[in-house]
Structure 1
Amino acid sequence: MMMQERTYKDAVGAILFDAAVSPQVGHAWFAPDYWRECNALRTQAGGRGGVAIIVTPVGECVLRHYRRGGLVAALMGDRYLWLGADHTRPFTEFRLLSEIARLGLPGPAVVAARYVRHGLFYGADLITRRIANAQTLAECLLAGQLDGERAEEVGALVARFHRAGVWHADLNAHNVLMTPDELYLIDFDRGRLRTPAASWQQANLQRLRRSLLKLGAASQGEAAFEKVIWQPLLYRYGRTLTP
């Protein structure tokens, strides 16, 4: 189904949505309390991003509230400097996800994005379709289920995005989803399309490597990690990047 991008604007802010998925999306869609009152809020997690699983008229979706991380969070929290609608975090991620879908790459299917103005700042939210029966690469690793075969699949996944020029700003083990049938990359906040180049592609891979090591992937020693996990991942990555 072709994307039908529509925008709804009012005095509060604006909503960008795919009319092919839902002909109308209001501000209530971005309020966890609304879904709770409708008995349609499955789960809600705290921490950075404030993610909720909601049951909408178009199926189960993920509602994510944008929130800064690191030291900046103490000062800015969930506020971002207003530089125009097309430069807002949710609108740029919405459009990148639309392009990812057009390219046939496995990313979250986008439903709607919203910003709310607060003077010189804005708050932001994004709704995507929930990917069912999935676990993160981090969960797979911690469950002792990450082997050379799965590592190769991850390498192929990353290479497909890199070959298309899709740069993920935070490529880590929590942003790789694994289902019985497919692997996905999620959370493309601050991501963008770039001319394919070894410099940023290798930096992306090193970020993923650091994430795996931080989660204990080298618990049997770094030599074992290199042989069992990292080298198979790089092998399949290279074969997929330049077939």
Structure 2
Amino acid sequence: MIDLKIRDYLNFVFYYAGDNVDLPALVNKFLRAPIEKQKGRNGIRIVNTDDGQLVCRKYVHGGLLRAITGDFFLTAKRAINELEILLYLKSKGFPVVHPYGVLVHGGSLTKKLHILTVYAENTTDLVDVLRISPTRERLRLIQRLAKLFWALEALSVYHPDLHLSNVLVTRNRGLLFLDFDKACRKTVTKRDMENMFWRLNRFAEKCELNGRLRISPRDKELFLRTYARLSGYDFRLLMANKLERKRLTSKIGWFIESLLYGGAK
């Protein structure tokens, strides 16, 4: 457990682990920052502060009932958990965006949660880089991604919703992870890793369906082979046997979400 500092101002509470923060100034700039709706599922705010640019992401409930549950939470636990995981991974040298803090807005009954991270300059979405990269560079990135999935397992972090849009590519072609919502620290089992790989595959196939990116069987083979070499556990036969059933389940889910919300991730 990481000891977090807590400050409050009006109906805002701020959780953080770094140097002291001018919370009134931060809240004022947060409220004035526009929402960039084209980024992420629910948009983000870019907040300009004396510490540089911050990316502010609001939490919303997922699932088919998200239109009802919306962005109201009873506690700040979900956001604080992600902040603690980001701080833990950064302390272990795992490449994540720099965590700044959690800003909670609301009263005792319902709250709106936001996580703030330092804006990562000179980075590009992994999906976009994979789409335009020549074959050799593309394969190198896929190998790096597999190695970092294995590193998460070694660090006892399970992330059931990790996909390609959670990863940035830096100027020197390193990878940087930016979203650990719903992740947790635990002993990561082989079943957990299988679940993470299916989530990654589901996102990749959705990208192909939308014409955004095609991940070839060769790419997937390289990813799983690289992980197998590091971990000693080969998922290729197991996943090949389950592939058609998983695809059918995903298509049913995408169809239902398209009826309710016009799309799915």
Cross-structure match for 2:187: 195
Change (3 A) 1:97 1:33: closer
**Counterparts of 1:49-128 in structure 2 under 5 Å?**
49-82=42-75, 85=76, 88-128=77-117
Change (3 A) 1:27 1:211: farther
Cross-structure match for 1:214: 206
Change (3 A) 1:30 1:9: closer
Change (3 A) 1:241 1:135: farther
Q: Is the 8 A contact 2:14 2:103 kept in 1?
A: yes
Change (3 A) 1:130 1:240: farther
Change (3 A) 1:118 1:34: closer
Letter in 1 for 2:160: A
Q: CA deviation at 1:195?
A: 0.1
Say which SS state the counterpart of residue 127 (structure 1) adopts.
strand
Q: Greater helix percent: which structure? A: 2
Q: Structure 1: how far apart are the matches of 2:227 and 2:108?
A: 45
Q: How many residues align?
A: 226
Q: Structure 1: how far apart are the matches of 2:208 and 2:82?
A: 31
Change (3 A) 1:73 1:153: same
Change (3 A) 1:78 1:27: farther
Letter in 1 for 2:90: A
Where in structure 1 are there 5+ consecutive unaligned residues? none
Letter in 1 for 2:23: G
Cross-structure match for 2:229: 239
Cross-structure match for 2:245: none
What CA deviation, in whole Å up to 9, does each residue of 1:102-157 have, x standing for no partner? 11111121111022234422111111011222222222234355732221111112
Q: Structure 2: how far apart are the matches of 1:108 and 1:157?
A: 14
Change (3 A) 1:65 1:118: same
Say which SS state the counterpart of residue 95 (structure 1) adopts.
helix
Q: Is the 8 A contact 1:80 1:122 kept in 2?
A: yes
Q: Structure 1: how far apart are the matches of 2:113 and 2:145?
A: 30
2:8 counterpart of 1:17: no
TM-score by length of 1: 0.80
TM-score by length of 2: 0.74
Q: CA deviation at 1:194?
A: 1.2
Which moves more between the two structures, 45-54 or 62-71? 45-54
Q: CA deviation at 1:55?
A: 2.5
Over aligned residues, Cα RMSD in angstroms?
2.9
What CA deviation, in whole Å up to 9, does each residue of 1:167-187 have, x standing for no partner? 123111111211133202221
Change (3 A) 1:102 1:18: same
Q: Structure 2: how far apart are the matches of 1:77 and 1:32?
A: 24
Q: Is the 8 A contact 2:47 2:56 kept in 1?
A: yes
Which moves more between the two structures, 70-79 or 155-164? 70-79
Q: Structure 2: how far apart are the matches of 1:35 and 1:156?
A: 40
Q: Percentage identity across aligned positions?
A: 22
